[in-house]
Structure formats: C-alpha cells, structure tokens
Chains A and B, each alone.
Chain A
C-alpha cells in the first residue's frame, strides 16, 4: 500500500488552464500600481496645499528679506567672502608656477 500511495502522491498536480487568469491578475496589479501612484500624488499635493494655507508665508518672506539684508551688510561675512576669493585666486596663480 505504501508504494502505491507514494506513486499516487508523486503524481504531479493536474494542470489548470489559464483562461484569462493571468491577464486578470495583471490588470488588477496595474490598477493597484496606478492607484498607489495617484494616492502618493494626492498626498504630496495635499501637503503642499496645507503648507500654503497654514504657513504664514508673508511673515516668512519678510523674515528672509531681513536676514539676507543683515548678511549682506555684515562686515564679517564680507571679509569671509573676500578671503575665500583671494584664496582661490592665489591658489590658481601658484598652481601655474
């Protein structure tokens, strides 16, 4: 009986015809991918809209303007920029020698 049983068990499973199964699965997979993309895009757009609505953009703009003005008028920053430019110029001159 055991040998007979093993022969029965070792028989491969009967093949199942595709009959559009694969096409149906792939259609659902593509739909899933499109939905996921749409959901991600909607999430990003919603985030941007929320940021636009909730952030005090005018105050942020004014603050940025002030900071840029301060930096531009700062002696320390001007000296640092000058030092960097001089270093680069000297470096290029010495590399030729």
Chain B
C-alpha cells in the first residue's frame, strides 16, 4: 500500500489533515488531467478539480483497493462527462470527423506541431485514455478502471486516438511545409 493510500485510510477515520496532504500532493496532476480534458479551459478545469476533491472528501470511506490518484481521476472524468453533457461542450462519442477538423491551409501554416492542439480534436474517451496511459503512466488496467470501461475498449480508444493524432499532426506538418 503506497503512502497516499495510507493517508486515504487515515482521512477515512476523520483525519482532515491527512486529506489536506492528499489534496496538496495530487492537485497538480489532477488539474493537469482535467485541463487536457477541458481542452485548455483553466476555469472549468479548476472548478471540476475542486468538485472532484470535495466528492472524494465526502466519499472517502468508499475508497477501496487500488491507487488513490486513479480513484480521483475516475471521479474527475465522470464529473467532466456530466459537465460536457450539461453544457454540450463537445460530442462525447467517436464520430470519425477527422477530415472536417483538419485546419484550413492558411491557418495550418501557422499551426505548430502541437500535441495539445491535436488532442482537442479527439473525443473525450480517447483524450482521457491517452493521457492516463502515456502522460500519467497508468497501466492499461488502471486506466480502464479509472475510466470505467472494459480493457478492450480502453485499448481501442488508445489505438484509435494515436492513429488520429498521427494523421492530424502529419496533415498539419504537410500543410505547413507546402
């Protein structure tokens, strides 16, 4: 059991200071994850991160086995999906609209090879899967649990997301060169 999980157990017994340590320890990565999910919307990402920590505080006794940060990401991701549905922020399902989302040639020349920008073109599940599995170093199993999806679905999101990113970045690069 890692240090964070020990602190979570202490927080579950009513130790608020232990929960404070957890917040300070995980705020940067959780906000970074939500910032990517919200496609760079700092205000929304911070609101979601706050709500995520408060929900974790309320439900700390329900925290079971596994990684505490994974549990936080699960709460954060589900809150993001609720918010995206409510505000109609973006389509949540895969619609294969890459071609429609590739920028026009004149803007593409200015577009640099920018992962964050390309990430915004992916559906949320692909963005979350790639971020957890690559940038945050989750195993496939941990990421599948955090995103509440079967392992096969997660792998499919990772593969399709990588392919889309490769196509987008290639297309931007070619337009910039031409």
Contact = CB atoms under 8 A, between A and B. Distances in A.
A61 interface: no
Interface residues of chain A: helix, strand, loop or mixed (majority): helix
Contacts of A14: 32
Contacts of B136: 12-13
Given A5-B169, A25-B50, A13 B36 contact: yes
Query: Which residue among A2, A11, A14, A22 has the maximum number of chain B CB atoms within 10 Å of its CB?
Result: A22
Contact of B54 (A11, A13, A29): A29
Instruction: Give the contact-size bracket for chain A.
Output: 20 to 34
Contact of B27 (A13, A18, A30, A33): A18
B39 to A, nearest CB: 14
Contacts of B16: 26, 29-30, 33
A33 to B, nearest CB: 7
A96 interface: no
A13 B165 contact: no
Interface residues of chain B: helix, strand, loop or mixed (majority): helix
Given A9-B135, A10-B135, A28 B35 contact: no
Interface string B74-108: 00000000000000000000000000000000000
B115 A9 contact: yes
B155 to A, nearest CB: 15
Contact of A15 (B32, B46, B131): B32
Interface of B: 16, 19-20, 23-24, 27-29, 31-33, 35-36, 46, 49-50, 53-54, 57-58, 115, 130-131, 134-136, 162, 165-166, 169-170
Interface of A: 1-2, 5-6, 8-18, 21-22, 24-26, 28-30, 32-33
Top 3 A-B pairs, shortest CB-CB distance: A13-B32, A9-B134, A16-B31
Given A25-B27, A29-B57, 9 more contacts: A13-B36, A14-B32, A16-B28, A21-B50, A22-B20, A22-B24, A26-B20, A26-B23, A30-B16
